[in-house]
Structure 1
């Protein structure tokens, strides 16, 4: 038995030894490589050729930028008290909301019971427009009242006369308010002066009438040797002068009193329809500046472009306008290109941060933009140049320059074709083959 067990252990050991030798041989065969095999495995891949087709199409050179849609004019309005001591100014009625459209003659809100009325005009309101006043702002008021159908003329242009006063009364009646008056509600403060002036006219008139009657009845002339009275005719002349002065004083007082347009109750806007761009006050709030901000004039786009883009920018260029969330796109024209501008440095962590120079550009839409565009950030594609018709174009990377300054493109079959480059834009360039041999659909090398 011992011999049998010994022989079995010898066989197992032999098998294990054979297996270990086989495994070692396999490992050795995979670890050992020939120089040729190593060179083949580490050799870079065969170079590939990148190509692109030759195209025939209209080529445009474009400049892409971001812009903001806004009205051509912005007006901030804060009604102020007519005089000191009138108490706090409080919003008592709100007629509009942010984003609302405003038309001529609309009441925007009421402050302390008085309306704020929007009227057309380019001259900003800067004073109360009172009877007897004269100036361009009065002329503007007359034209605004004419536009609304309240004024048909009658006063000298730019002079606040009786016809203008009547028109102001009509305006206030149309918006449901009593017209403001130089003498306060109902003109009470002016009544005493007007009554006194009228009394002076009446007294002077009676004196003139009495003297005329005495002369007509043949009353004797006063004796020059007596009390030194003037002849009746001379006395009549003095009385008539007094009457004339009284009548003139009364007329002047009437001309300076009556319906008026207080500064706190009107705002002139350069064009309509206007829009309410900012307004957050509610009934009961005290008036704080600015109470309401209005955008007037047609919507346009303003943008800031890089100074290096100045050579290709000029008025008259066509622009495509696209806004996020707006289905319809719009087109427009560059109408203004300003000089290089730099804003005042901004403060950053207590230090002045450097300002970035830019070119201010204004784009005017081809047609009126809907109110939904107002305040939007939009994408602008400005067509700086465009070929007159279809031309051969290739990617810019397909054109190479030689030491002698000549340019060419290489086709996929290895041919080198001399070309004259033209307009470039959006990564492509117009090419004119100097010896032919380049057609649409041919593939040119753009990289290796």
Structure 2
């Protein structure tokens, strides 16, 4: 109603301005000896009635989307822990991508090598060793092009021969065994995130040589515990990029985290939240972006098999509540409706005589 009052105010000013302009034009015309009536004495245009824009009452399932702002990056960085004593004589650079067989860093001028696997190195491997870690090592040797042994869980003399060939290519002593700390297993290739130690720093067990992430860009989102029911690992989500591009994604991880926040009075308190990781179904949608703020839409409340109309079709009734204007041929009728869930520009409605397929007026 206020908007319409503002509209009438603008119209009144326009009419007054037009009257002043018309009087001025008449004066000019009189001075020039021109009969202004000849220009104004035109037949009036016939009034027309515009057909109102309509939308259909649709029966569908509405699902609320809860949007949460997230950060695009490479996910949480992990420590590349060192298991050796000595001096750091070689380090990678931030942003380097390291793959199977690449040197991660060097201690006492001997390399620590990246291999693929889910089981962390926990012992020296030599002839006679048996176990899943032996098989994991042999798989890597085979992928790197070494052969002459059977990929199984037994470290044999043939395995030792392959290890010696590998050590020869690395330029280290050919011992035929793999000492603890000289290989690191990760599930896949990694990206170096930060490198804090300097060359010449002391290497010691438990210290981090650098931090690293995976290669794929992901979105990390902090979700309040009150909304934790929205987050289900494996569920689909909607991703909106800074330029408005929309993509689909999947929740890949969720864990509880605690952060310390400072209030206005300077007091600090621990706040618990969910640290959620989301991957795009098509990783290429992130190719043109480095770090950015991205919205993630989680599926919230759902209303199955309900009548819906566009939100714009709702009318505020003088007696309170909402109504819609139904179209029946050349006539319209305003009927009261009860509203339910709002989602994706639609609203759940119910009311006497309301059926799917009917037309309702919406503002043009």
Q: What TM-score, normalized by structure 2, do the two folds share?
A: 0.65
Which position in structure 2 is the counterpart of 1:172?
A: 167
Question: Offset at 1:141?
Answer: 0.8
1:423 to 329, 335, 341: 341
SS in 2 for 1:429: strand
**Alpha-carbon distance between aligned partners in 2 of 1:46 and 1:170, rounded to the nearest angstrom:** 83
1:69 touches 1:376 (CA, 8 Å); kept in 2? Answer: yes
Is the alpha carbon distance of 1:374 and 1:436 closer, same or farther for their aligned partners in structure 2, counting shifts above 3 Å? same
Match of 1:105 in 2: 101
Of the structure 1 ranges 407-416 and 260-269, higher mean CA displacement relative to structure 2 is found in 407-416
Cα drift, residue 366 of structure 1: 0.6
8 Å CA contact 1:118–1:266 kept in 2: the answer is: yes
Gaps of 5+ in 1: 1-44, 83-87, 182-258
Distance 1:426 1:396, change over 3 A: farther
Alignment partner, residue 17 of structure 1: none
Residue 439 in structure 1 maps to residue 359 in structure 2: yes
1:276 deviates by 0.9
After the TM superposition, which residues 160-199 of structure 1 pair with which residues of structure 2 at under 5 Å, given as runs?
160-174=155-169, 176-179=170-173, 181=175
Cα separation, partners in 2 of 1:137 and 1:346, compared to 1, 3 Å: farther
Cα deviation, residue 372, structure 1: 7.1
The SS at the match of 2:133 is helix
Q: Tell me which residue corresponds to 1:210.
A: none
Show the 5 A alignment for 1:306-385: 306-315=224-233, 317-323=235-241, 330-335=247-252, 341=256, 343=258, 353-368=268-283, 377-384=293-300
The match for 1:128 is 124
Does the C-alpha gap of structure 1 residues 394 and 367 become closer, same or farther in structure 2, counting only changes over 3 Å? Answer: closer
TM-score, with structure 1 as normaliser: 0.54
Match of 2:195 in 1: 279
- TM-superposed CA distance for 1:317, in Å, is 4.5
In structure 1, the partner of 2:214 is: 296
C-alpha distance 346-97 of structure 1, shift in aligned 2 (>3 A): same
In 2: Cα distance, 1:328 partner to 1:152 partner: 52
- For residues 354-383 of structure 1, the C-alpha deviation after alignment (integer angstroms, 9 at most, x for no partner) is 223334433232133567767655322334
CA distance in 2, matches of 1:396, 1:125: 64
Contact 1:180 1:261 in 2 (8 A): no
Q: 1:313 to 1:441 in 2, by over 3 A?
A: farther
Residue pair 1:269, 1:296 contacting (<8 A) in 2 also: no
CA distance in 1, matches of 2:278, 2:117: 24
Q: Which residue of 2 aligns with 1:89?
A: 87
Q: State the 1:107 CA deviation.
A: 1.3
- Structure with more helix by fraction: 1
Aligned length: 306
